[in-house]
Amino acid sequence: MARTRKAAAAAVPAAPAGDVLVTGFEPFGGEDVNPSWEICEGLAAAIGHARLHTRRVPTEFRRAIEVVAAAIEETEPALVILLGQAGGRAALSVERVAINVDDARIADNAGRQPVDEPVAASGPAAYFATVPIKAMVAAIREEGIPAEVSNSAGTFVCNHLLYGVLHFLAASGRPARAGFIHVPWLESQAVTRPGEPAMALATMVRGVEAAIAAALATPVDVKMAAGSLD
């Protein structure tokens, strides 16, 4: 569902016409909060000329894709930014690729635990995100916030949703660009996990807004080394 958010963020370079859909997940795995949705609730109502729409997504295989596909049909966005929790990561991780496999270490919130199943039986092995991932990482870092390009979105509902949304957009011929940002635990979640990384909610909101602004302003990604050695 859409939420009322604070006033528009600071001015950004002129953006292409069109709205932005940002999604976050409900809590899962025994947690009572999910930072991805908390970020959605804290986002500006608009960035530049683009209005932001938010949706809370069930942490469920298949249902997550259905909810976001319906939101895309409803809001007709130019940009889709999916957010998800990646406890243990220390930076905002902009995902490069989604793979066509579900391999769940734990059950989703509906009790489903697919193992070695395709997201889409007739789909390609993988999709690359269609947002400018490196420009987004650079914009987050310019805010003084840790950020990285990630080459694995996992094999749980986050990867499932990114793959499913990219597959839906490709199959329907919609021009929207789409990508995924994994976010760390909130500081409150890390209280019972001594030594584990966490990030303040306000910091993550600022980083995601910077990433959205960069995606809107960057039609072709920048050339920047951001790979990994492992």
User: Strand 50-57 vs strand 20-25: parallel, antiparallel, or unpaired?
Assistant: parallel
Q: How do the residues of the chain divide into helix, strand and coil, expressed in percent and rounded to 5?
A: 30, 25, 45
d(CA 27, CA 7): 27
Active-site residue list: 95, 158, 182
Token duo for residue 3: 């939420």
CA separation for the pair 220, 21 (Å, rounded): 20
Cα-Cα end-to-end distance for the chain: 39
DSSP designation for 193: S
